[in-house]
Amino acid sequence: MKKISRFSAACFFATLTAFIALPSFAQSNQDSSRQAGAETALPLKRLSLFSSGVGFFEHSGTVSGSGSSPAYINLPFSIASVNDALKSLTVNDPVSDFPTVRYAASSALAEALRSLKIDLSGNPGIGEILNSLKGAELEIAAPSPISGRIIGVEFRETGITFSGSDTSEAYLSLFTAQGIRVIAIKDISSFAFKDSSINTDLSRALDLLMETRGTEKRSLLLTLPGNGSRQVSLSYVIPTPVWKVSYRLDLSAGTPKLQGWAIIDNDSDTDWNNVALSLVTGRPVSFIQNLYAPYRTSRPVLPLAIAGIAQAQTYESGNYSEAGYGYADYEDAKAANSPMQSRSKSMAMAESADSMYIREAPAPAAAPPLSGGATLQTASGSAAGDQFEYTLKNPVTLERRQSAMLPLVEAQVKAEKALVFSGARASSTSSINPSISAELTNTTGMKLPAGPITVYDGNTYAGDALIEFFPENEKRIISYGDDLSVSGSVSAANSRFVTAVTVADGIMTITRRQNYEKTYTLRNASSEAKRIIIEHPAISGASLAEPTSYDERTPALYRFIRQLPASQELKFTVREETPVSERISLIQLRPETFLSYSTNQEIPANVRSALARAIEFKKIADNAATAVQTLETQRTRLISEQDRIRQNLAAAGSQTPQGQEYLRRMAAMDTDIDALNASIAAADNKAQAAKKDYEAYLGSLKL
């Protein structure tokens, strides 16, 4: 961004040294110091208003002074602006080598009131004031004169009000020459303090409260020591109302014209007279830091290192291990635990750091100069880093608490009227009317900030529109109404087709094309042909298939420009497609799945034939595996039967006729099991061979 203050090479750019002073109640000290020098009011010369809600103010003028009577400049600020002023205030004085700023601390009023003998902070009553001055000599009229010293004020309950609350009266106790007198304060018609200093402090406290009553202002007093008359300037950044902009677009003439107005507000208590005004768009980092209020940090409280009373002691044995606590360890521990020694080390480190900081403090850097901007018709526009600055052609005069609308831009622009049909909006309802719009190209030579646009067409009001930040030579669509003579709807249809099938290494890859199709139906009931822009929402990851080209593309949609004939209907189809791939492991397919693929007419004939052959291999392998399972089931059944007979044999005994029968049957089953084992081995070999043939066939397919 361009620098916002101008400094000559001979100027001294100082970081302001601020001396916290008491406010107006300490003003007498400042007034006395300023009697020798003249207070100068520097007029406001340049002002930059930012869209982020701050303003840069630059004052400049001539001041004069001498060594004994420096120049003074008083800058009033609202309380809300003081922090920003302290953060940003800079001074450009070619002579002064030590400019200073004095201002009232935020807590100075309360502290000053508390420093007086009569503390009027907190809005105390008469009883509370007198009670706080115990011992003071007082002369009262109640109604006869009484003199004495204040003992105190007590409050006595006198009854209950209609609302049920207690009432009380204040009584003053005085120590007089005749003794202690108690007088109701309501009976005192007047009183005066005999101590003149109390009366002086009372008058001073009243002056303080009067001077600060209802004020929301704080003043910064700049002191500029130096000899002779010279030109000085100062600048600061404080909060200001955000400047706004509004546009007017006239489509009536052959060449459309755009007119922009800036709306500014002077909410200060200072008139702007012939001020060079700049308006800046952008978002600079801006924050508030509480520099106005005094800040105090906490410090640790350490105990005093004083001698205590003697304590009873016990002594350890002289025998201790080598790993024990030695004398040197004891001395180190004692030193580490000594608060005074720790404090001395800390102070030494702090002093060393302070000295180093003072020696190595760098000199303030000089601010770079400003550069000018290009001049345009109504306002000059110039790039300011990532921001853009508009400098009004003529100086501005605006009284305090007033607002103004100033011309920002007026230029012929390129604009073409059209209707905009939103496919996204039409998809959520049955029928919509397209928006009356204009394609606007920024040919003003300036970046235009966001704002409302009032559109005029046919020498009458046509509608309102909004526009975002508008860079140079960029085209934007603005909509300012609905065309009721045109309606439209949209229908959607999705489909999927196989485009390629490959088989390799037992994996079948099917590539399909997913189609997303939308048909726009537009009906023109008007006797005039319409130029219509169809906005079609783009599907993420899909490519445009029909039509093959578009007129405009945004990250979210396509724009197609079509002519809608008078009193006719237009159908327009947009198709997007995206490839979808599916990988299938053939070895894991079931026969019915194989069958569905082998009969799918979308799959090429050679692939279907290969899959049919694979089904035959699959059936042979499955049948062989089934035969093995059948034999294993028979063997399992025989083994289970043997276990049952073995249990019966144990119960009947092997020497009984029944036991002999069990033995015979078990022997026969052993023979059958042996035969089944041989059959299972042969069947398993056959099944493994069939599986290998099946897998070998699938692995050999290259389609």
**DSSP calls for 499-540:** EEEEEETTEEEEEEEEEEEEEEEEEE-SSS-EEEEEEEEPPT
> In this structure, is residue 290 part of a structural domain?
no
Higher per-residue confidence, 343 vs 597: 597
Highest-scoring range by mean pLDDT, 206-210, 573-577, 616-620, 621-625: 573-577
> In this structure, is residue 430 part of a structural domain?
no
> In this structure, is residue 682 part of a structural domain?
yes
Query: What is the percent of the chain with per-residue pLDDT over 70, rounded to a whole number?
Result: 81
Strands 217-224 and 100-104: antiparallel
Q: Give the pLDDT band of residue 188 (cuts 50, 70, 90).
A: confident
Q: What SS3 state is found at 186? A: helix
Instruction: Tell me how far apart the alpha carbons of residues 538 and 543 are, in angstroms, rounded to a whole number.
Output: 9
CATH number for the domain spanning 151: value is 2.30.30
pLDDT at 10 over 80: no
pLDDT at 357 over 70: no
Query: Do residues 577 and 638 share a domain?
Result: no
Query: Do residues 595 and 565 share a domain?
Result: no
Backbone torsion region of residue 20, taken as left when φ is above 0, otherwise alpha when ψ lies between -120 and 50, otherwise beta: beta
Residue 57 contacts residue 85 (beta carbons within 8 Å): no
Highest-scoring range by mean pLDDT, 64-68, 198-202, 392-396, 616-620: 392-396
Q: Using alpha carbons only, what angle is made at residue 452 by residues 483 and 390, rounded to the nearest 5 degrees?
A: 140
Q: What residues contact residue 524 under an 8 Å CB cut-off, 6+ apart? A: 485, 486, 530, 564, 565, 566, 567, 568, 569, 570
Which residue is it, tokens 């001294």?
12
Residue 441 contacts residue 473 (beta carbons within 8 Å): yes
Instruction: Tell me how far apart the alpha carbons of residues 235 and 81 are, in angstroms, rounded to a whole number.
Output: 14
What is the structure's pLDDT at 456?
95
What is the structure's pLDDT at 60?
94
Q: Count up the domains in the chain and report the number.
A: 4
Query: Do residues 181 and 218 share a domain?
Result: no
Query: Do residues 619 and 660 share a domain?
Result: yes
DSSP state of 562: E
Average pLDDT over residues 553-565: 94
Query: Do residues 144 and 64 share a domain?
Result: no
pLDDT in tens, 358-377: 333 333 333 333 233 333 33
What is the structure's pLDDT at 189?
86
What is the structure's pLDDT at 538?
94
Instruction: Tell me how far apart the alpha carbons of residues 670 and 127 are, in angstroms, rounded to a whole number.
Output: 122
Instruction: Tell me how far apart the alpha carbons of residues 68 and 143 are, in angstroms, rounded to a whole number.
Output: 57
Query: Do residues 93 and 205 share a domain?
Result: yes
Pick the range with the lowest mean pLDDT from 17-26, 155-164, 272-281, 321-330.
Answer: 17-26
pLDDT in tens, 626-647: 888 888 888 888 888 888 888 8
Average pLDDT over residues 578-584: 88
Closest CA to 266 of 396, 89, 450: 396
Domain end: 586, 607, 623, which one?
586
pLDDT at 333 over 80: no
Domain end: 240, 268, 302, which one?
240
Half-sphere exposure of 158 (CA within 13 A, CB side): 10
Model pTM score: 0.64
Half-sphere exposure of 484 (CA within 13 A, CB side): 0
Phi, psi of 204 (to 5 degrees): -65, -40
Residue 415 contacts residue 457 (beta carbons within 8 Å): no
Q: Give the pLDDT band of residue 11 (cuts 50, 70, 90).
A: very low
Average pLDDT over residues 305-319: 61
Instruction: Tell me how far apart the alpha carbons of residues 647 and 3 are, in angstroms, rounded to a whole number.
Output: 107
Instruction: Tell me how far apart the alpha carbons of residues 309 and 311 are, in angstroms, rounded to a whole number.
Output: 6
> In this structure, is residue 449 part of a structural domain?
no
What is the structure's pLDDT at 213?
64
Domain end: 565, 586, 607, which one?
586
> In this structure, is residue 422 part of a structural domain?
no
Closest CA to 483 of 529, 550, 551: 529
Strands 451-457 and 244-250: parallel
> In this structure, is residue 325 part of a structural domain?
no
**DSSP calls for 390-436:** EEESS-EEE-TTEEEEEEEEEEE-EEEEEEEEEHHHHHTSS-BPPEE
Query: Do residues 220 and 121 share a domain?
Result: yes
CATH number for the domain spanning 494: value is 2.60.40
Q: Which two tokens stand for residue 566?
A: 């008078």
Phi, psi of 389 (to 5 degrees): -120, 130
Average pLDDT over residues 609-636: 86
Query: Do residues 539 and 613 share a domain?
Result: no
Cis upstream peptide for 452 (omega within 30°) = no
Pick the range with the lowest mean pLDDT from 203-212, 346-355, 574-583.
Answer: 346-355
pLDDT at 204 over 50: yes
pLDDT in tens, 521-541: 999 999 999 999 999 999 998
* Other Cβ atoms closer than 10 A to 464: 14
Half-sphere exposure of 663 (CA within 13 A, CB side): 10
> In this structure, is residue 395 part of a structural domain?
no
Q: Give the pLDDT band of residue 382 (cuts 50, 70, 90).
A: low
Half-sphere exposure of 14 (CA within 13 A, CB side): 23
Query: Do residues 141 and 96 share a domain?
Result: no
pLDDT in tens, 468-525: 999 999 999 999 999 999 999 999 999 988 888 888 888 888 888 999 999 999 999 9
Q: Give the pLDDT band of residue 4 (cuts 50, 70, 90).
A: very low
Higher per-residue confidence, 367 vs 654: 654
* H or E stretch at 130: helix 126-131
Residue 76 contacts residue 217 (beta carbons within 8 Å): yes
Closest CA to 12 of 73, 99, 76, 78: 99
Closest CA to 219 of 43, 69, 14, 82: 82
Domain of residue 617, residue span: 589-700
Query: What is the percent of the chain with per-residue pLDDT over 90, rounded to a whole number?
Result: 35
pLDDT at 341 over 50: no
Mean pLDDT of the chain: 80
Instruction: Tell me how far apart the alpha carbons of residues 111 and 49 are, in angstroms, rounded to a whole number.
Output: 37
pLDDT at 347 over 50: no
Cis upstream peptide for 537 (omega within 30°) = no
Burial of residue 8 (number of CB atoms within 10 Å: 0-12, 13-18, 19+): exposed
Which residue is it, tokens 């635990």?
337
> In this structure, is residue 694 part of a structural domain?
yes
How do the residues of the chain divide into helix, strand and coil, expressed in percent and rounded to 5?
A: 30, 40, 30
Query: Do residues 562 and 611 share a domain?
Result: no
* H or E stretch at 47: strand 44-50
Query: Do residues 595 and 654 share a domain?
Result: yes
Average pLDDT over residues 262-280: 93
pLDDT at 42 over 70: yes
pLDDT in tens, 119-152: 777 778 888 888 888 888 888 888 888 899 998 8
pLDDT at 37 over 60: no
Query: Do residues 695 and 578 share a domain?
Result: no
Q: Give the pLDDT band of residue 442 (cuts 50, 70, 90).
A: very high
* H or E stretch at 88: helix 79-88
Which residue is it, tokens 């000899």?
227
Q: Give the pLDDT band of residue 435 (cuts 50, 70, 90).
A: very high
pLDDT in tens, 48-105: 999 989 999 999 999 988 877 899 999 989 888 999 999 999 999 998 888 999 987 7
Q: Please name every residue paired with 244 in a beta bridge, in sequence order, or none if there are none.
A: 263
